[in-house]
Amino acid sequence: MTLKELLQYRIRNQQLHRPVPHSPEALVSYMGIIQAQDYAMAKWAIGLRMQDPGEAQIEEAVDEGRIIRLHVLRPTWHFVTTEQVRWMMQLSAVSIQKAARFIDRQTGLTPALYAKARKVLEKELEVEDLTKEEIMERLAQRRIKTDHLLATQLQIRAETEMLICSGKRKGRRFTYTLFDKRVGPAATISREEALARLATLYFKTRGPATLRDFAWWSGLTITDATKGWGAIEKELIPVTIRDTVYWMFEQDTPAAPAIPHSFLLPPYDELAVSYSESRGLLFDGDGTSVGNGIFRPVMMEKHKLTGIWKRTEKKDAIGLGLSFLPQHPGKPSRDLLRSVKLYEQHMGKPVSIL
């Protein structure tokens, strides 16, 4: 397998060639999670993979709770469906809580303080969805003083205990609601089954990838990642490129001309953030200028990151500033312009290149 073919498989498995119609929740269910600390750009990460993208329908899916947003797998925001979240959280809660302990101690989040705050959350969120600021106000009324960082740590802990998750938006403000009000009951599965299920999901949607890539994306220790991979190893095939072994489910060879390879990628897009050991395949040499493919919105052309983009949004239009790497001709390719048109459809307003 060539490097180009490997990247084509990833593009196809990540649905970036938009092969079938997907609702927002069906796309998130297929992907398992979509990293979502940059909310607006995370919606584009979903739209980029839909045949008929539209920000409004994604907002509707989030508002109605078909997609929820919380910290799961790794200690950062993700979109996840209500059908997937329970077993994923049962698998990842302990590691997220462990990662949060240092800041917990810095902010003064003790078990006693959390227990008091938890009772307030249970009572207040039973009545209505509340913003972070409103939660802080309700806590203050019960003599539990918090600043924004302490409130964030409280909320992460409550998310990992499956007490709260994202609720309906109040205008442009995010709210929290009780987890059980949005997420239906589900049978508990063993840790071994959860590891195997997560490994299957990863290598089907992100393969070909390495074992260390899987450990990074999943937030698992390399020991647990190896257990998950080992449970499905017989179903996978190894591919060696540049002395590195990648794993994937056996598939037909992608038809290269039929699969797009140029995109406006949001920051933290799964095409970059799903990998650690092999993320650098997307760029040549030092990736600092393109935020290592994850920290800035990037342009991808012919399987390589070629620059960064920035949007300027006005009431009725959006302007895109494109900054190409020095070795680039300086003009967007025809394929990249197709991605610009898709972004225009997603946003529902005219998009022009500045």
Please give the model's pTM, rounded to 2 decimal places.
0.95
Asked if 214 and 203 count as a contact pair (C-beta separation under 8 A), the reply is yes
pLDDT score recorded for residue 149: 97
In sign, the C-alpha dihedral spanning 52, 58, 64, 67 is: positive
C-alpha distances in Å from residue 23, one per residue of 66, 148, 157, 221: 10, 34, 30, 33
Cα Rg of the chain (Å, integer): 21
- pLDDT per position as a tens digit, 23-70: 999 999 999 999 999 999 999 999 999 999 999 999 999 999 999 999
Mean local confidence (pLDDT), 212-238: 97
Phi, psi dihedrals of residue 243, rounded to the nearest 5°: 70, 10
Task: With residue 201 as reference, give the H or E element that holds it.
Answer: helix 191-206
**d(C-alpha 351, C-alpha 49), whole Å:** 19
pLDDT score recorded for residue 110: 96
Of all residues in the chain, the percent with pLDDT exceeding 90 is 89
In sign, the C-alpha dihedral spanning 339, 343, 346, 348 is: negative
Domain ranges, ordered by start, for the chain: 18-182
Mean local confidence (pLDDT), 333-351: 96
Beta bridge partner(s), residue 298: 265, 308
pLDDT score recorded for residue 315: 87
- Strand ranges in 186-256 using DSSP code E only, listed in sequence order: 236-241, 244-249
Asked if 331 and 289 count as a contact pair (C-beta separation under 8 A), the reply is no
Asked if 244 and 277 count as a contact pair (C-beta separation under 8 A), the reply is yes
pLDDT score recorded for residue 216: 97
- pLDDT per position as a tens digit, 261-316: 999 999 999 999 999 999 999 987 678 889 888 999 999 998 899 999 999 998 89
Amino acid occupying residue 164: I
Beta bridge partner(s), residue 246: 239
pLDDT band at 256; cut points 50, 70, 90: low
Close Cβ partners of 224 (under 8 Å, ≥ 6 residues apart): 195, 215
Beta bridge partner(s), residue 71: 77
DSSP 14: T
CB burial class (10 A; 0-12, 13-18, 19+) of residue 59? middle
pLDDT score recorded for residue 186: 94
